């Protein structure tokens, strides 16, 4: 896909979403239930859509909230549900609809008492902390489409383990919600002004408990003692209300470089394709922070629900997410004396093989899964997985004492971990990754997208490794062809082809009509291009029959 001519620049006015029209469509437009694109569909991170395309409207949120009420009752979940939302324009209307349904059903819910937004990792950590204390089990909802464009909305469900719901739960909720969608106006609701003041509603403070618990997972005192200067760009998202309390509580030299919050996100530079996307792993969306990177020892950004991280080094600029995962693993497994000696390293099927090499050097086993942070939850909860991360700049890790911290992506702690690494070792992430290169080689990694029809998407699921005519890849013998993840034998929804010094993987997007090809070489950029060329041919032949 060619780079947009305005990538990295301030959005022109005609690229901004019309917020009044967006909100009006949420309430005025009704989905066509016979149209698959306007039904409720849970991808890797919940249901996402836009009111302007009939895929995220009042009807959807009423139906999915009512379905969730039924699901949690069927599972014996009778404690409060913790509800958070981000700063997308559709998040507040969706919050209102959601609590109207919860209140009418008599389901107790907790929300941030001052109506400030709440990051995904905060809800995850709060669920775990509450259920650790015992009593009736609680779970959570986060109304967010993550880093998606300003016109999108999202609904995520996190059950009592704190992480994203598995396919069993989301499949049940999705089916029931679509049944309710046909007659959504019959769903019982209590008007918002009564619901938010009713017996079911409980305004709480999510900020202070999360801030005070941070020292259990990151060495905050080390950061403060070292006087590390930190720059933070919340990118107009839910992390903004958290950074000032964090800095004050721990005495950090921390500057919030951007305090703007606008529902059209007019202050976010355009991404590679000319869209506004609050993607902290994109050098284009992060262009403003990169311009001032030399003012800080370390800087980082978070996406709109603060579950992703983008680490900026004064020398190296925006650090590739795969590179930071490798550095984080190398550091954590050497600097957490209370962690078990047999803890595994979690990575997704499309994350860099540098992680495998680093884990091998540490004598640790790699647990490789399909795409999605949800696959790491059982290992984190049960204490046999120390770290779980994915190439899209999302990760989480155990507390310093080896207990579970949270089971969803946590961009706040990942940013602070970059500061801890600098404080403790005297080297920033960029310098430490270059030391890993000296030990394990230089990886060359990229991702490319291509259009995908519904028919081709179905063929992805039916791919058979034995039917693929590929014995060599970019001049090297193929050592493995996978359609299932080696860590848990779960289907990856595509395929991965491996050699000694390279690999590619292809899988359809869960939210867009495209498929993604990921590739990596440990030889040189030319070898990476050879891998891509052959990958595009192999995948194209398979999808076209």
Mean pLDDT for 499-522 is 89
Question: pLDDT tens digits, residue range 143-168?
Answer: 999 999 999 999 999 999 999 999 99
- First-to-last alpha carbon distance for the chain, in angstroms, is 24
451 pLDDT band, cuts 50/70/90, is confident
Question: What's the mean per-residue pLDDT of the chain?
Answer: 95
pLDDT at residue 43, rounded to an integer: 81
pLDDT tops 80 at residue 442: yes
How far is residue 530's CA from residue 526's CA, in Å, rounded to a whole number?
6
Question: pLDDT tens digits, residue range 189-219?
Answer: 999 999 999 999 999 999 999 999 999 999 9
How far is residue 357's CA from residue 77's CA, in Å, rounded to a whole number?
42
pLDDT tops 90 at residue 188: yes
pLDDT tops 80 at residue 129: yes
State pTM to two decimals.
0.96
pLDDT at residue 511, rounded to an integer: 61
How far is residue 301's CA from residue 318's CA, in Å, rounded to a whole number?
10
Here the tokens at position 304 are 């709109």
pLDDT at residue 476, rounded to an integer: 96
81 pLDDT band, cuts 50/70/90, is very high
Q: Which residues are catalytic?
A: 146
Taking alpha carbons only, the member of 33, 1, 7 closest to residue 182 is 33
Mean pLDDT for 414-427 is 98
pLDDT at residue 227, rounded to an integer: 98
How many CA atoms lie less than 13 Å away from 340 in the CB half-sphere? 17
Minimum mean pLDDT range among 59-68, 134-143, 462-471, 517-526? 462-471
Largest CA distance in the chain: 68
CA distances in angstroms from 247 to 13, 307, 535, listed in the order given: 35, 19, 47
Please enumerate in sequence order all residues whose Cβ is within 8 A of that of 74, keeping only pairs 6 or more positions apart, or say none.
none
Residues of the chain with pLDDT > 70: what percent?
A: 99
Under 8 Å between Cβ of 322 and 354: yes
To the nearest 10 degrees (0 to 180), the angle between helices 321-335 and 411-425 is 60
pLDDT at residue 510, rounded to an integer: 66
pLDDT tops 80 at residue 501: yes
Element (DSSP H or E) covering residue 532: helix 525-543
pLDDT at residue 458, rounded to an integer: 79
pLDDT at residue 529, rounded to an integer: 97
Under 8 Å between Cβ of 222 and 420: yes
Mean pLDDT for 461-470 is 75
- Residue predicted with more confidence, 445 or 459: 445
462 pLDDT band, cuts 50/70/90, is confident
pLDDT at residue 460, rounded to an integer: 77
For the CA atoms of 11, 14, 20, 21, what is the dihedral angle to 10 degrees? -130
Long-range contacts of 527-532 (CB under 8 A, 24+ apart): 527/444, 527/474, 527/475, 527/501, 527/502, 528/444, 528/445, 528/446, 528/502, 530/474, 530/475, 531/473, 531/474, 531/502, 531/503, 531/504, 532/446, 532/448, 532/504
Under 8 Å between Cβ of 245 and 112: no
459 pLDDT band, cuts 50/70/90, is confident
- Residue predicted with more confidence, 451 or 238: 238
Under 8 Å between Cβ of 384 and 366: no
pLDDT tops 80 at residue 270: yes
pLDDT at residue 1, rounded to an integer: 64
pLDDT at residue 453, rounded to an integer: 83
pLDDT at residue 400, rounded to an integer: 98
Long-range contacts of 366-369 (CB under 8 A, 24+ apart): 366/487, 367/487, 367/488, 368/485, 368/486, 368/487, 369/485, 369/487, 369/488, 369/490
Question: pLDDT tens digits, residue range 1-28?
Answer: 689 999 999 999 999 999 999 999 999 9
């Amino acid at each position: 896909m060619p780079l947009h001519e305005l990538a990295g620049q301030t959005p022109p006015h005609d690229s901004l979403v019309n917020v009044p029209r967006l909100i009006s469509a949420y309430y005025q437009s009704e989905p066509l239930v016979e149209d698959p694109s306007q039904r409720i569909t849970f991808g890797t991170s919940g249901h996402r859509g836009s009111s302007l395309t009939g895929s995220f409207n009042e009807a959807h949120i009423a139906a999915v909230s009512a379905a969730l009420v039924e699901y949690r009752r069927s599972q014996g979940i009778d404690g409060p549900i913790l509800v958070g939302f981000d700063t997308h324009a559709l998040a507040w209307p969706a919050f209102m609809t959601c609590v109207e349904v919860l209140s009418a059903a008599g389901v107790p819910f907790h929300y941030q008492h001052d109506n400030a937004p709440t990051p995904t990792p905060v809800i995850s950590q709060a669920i775990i902390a509450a259920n650790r204390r015992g009593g009736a089990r609680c779970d959570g909802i986060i109304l967010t489409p993550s880093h998606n464009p300003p016109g999108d909305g999202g609904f995520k469900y996190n059950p009592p383990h704190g992480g994203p719901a598995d396919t069993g739960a989301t499949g049940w909720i999705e089916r029931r919600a679509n049944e309710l969608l046909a007659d959504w106006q019959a769903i019982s609701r209590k008007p918002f002004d009564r619901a938010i003041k009713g017996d079911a509603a409980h305004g709480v403070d999510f900020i202070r408990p999360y801030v005070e618990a941070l020292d259990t997972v990151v060495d905050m005192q080390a950061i403060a003692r070292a006087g590390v200067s930190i720059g933070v760009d919340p990118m107009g998202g839910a992390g903004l209300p958290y950074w000032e309390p964090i800095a004050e509580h721990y005495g950090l030299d921390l500057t919030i470089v951007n305090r703007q919050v606008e529902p059209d996100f007019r202050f976010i530079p355009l991404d590679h394709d000319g869209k506004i996307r609050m993607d902290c792993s994109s050098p284009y969306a992060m262009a403003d922070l990169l311009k001032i990177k030399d003012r800080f020892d370390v800087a980082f950004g978070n996406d709109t629900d603060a579950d992703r991280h983008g680490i900026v080094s004064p020398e190296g600029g925006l650090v590739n997410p795969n590179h930071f995962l490798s550095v984080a693993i190398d550091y954590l497994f050497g600097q957490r004396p209370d962690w078990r000696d047999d803890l595994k390293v979690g990575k997704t099927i499309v994350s860099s093989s540098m992680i495998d090499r680093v884990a091998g050097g540490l004598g640790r086993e790699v647990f490789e899964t399909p795409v999605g942070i949800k696959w790491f939850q059982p290992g984190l909860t049960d204490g046999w997985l120390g770290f779980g991360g994915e190439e899209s700049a999302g990760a989480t890790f155990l507390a310093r004492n080896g207990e579970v911290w949270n089971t969803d992506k946590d961009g706040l702690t990942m940013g602070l971990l970059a500061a801890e690494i600098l404080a403790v070792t005297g080297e920033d992430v960029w310098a430490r990754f270059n030391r890993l290169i000296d030990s394990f080689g230089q990886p060359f990694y990229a991702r490319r997208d291509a259009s995908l029809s519904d028919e081709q998407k179905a063929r992805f699921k039916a791919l058979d490794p034995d039917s693929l005519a590929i014995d060599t890849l970019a001049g090297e013998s193929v050592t493995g062809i996978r359609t299932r993840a080696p860590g848990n034998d779960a289907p990856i929804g595509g395929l991965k082809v491996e050699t000694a010094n390279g690999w590619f993987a292809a899988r359809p997007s869960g939210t867009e009509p495209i498929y993604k090809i990921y590739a990596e070489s440990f030889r040189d950029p030319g070898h990476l291009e050879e891998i891509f060329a052959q990958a595009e041919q192999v995948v194209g032949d398979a999808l076209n029959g």
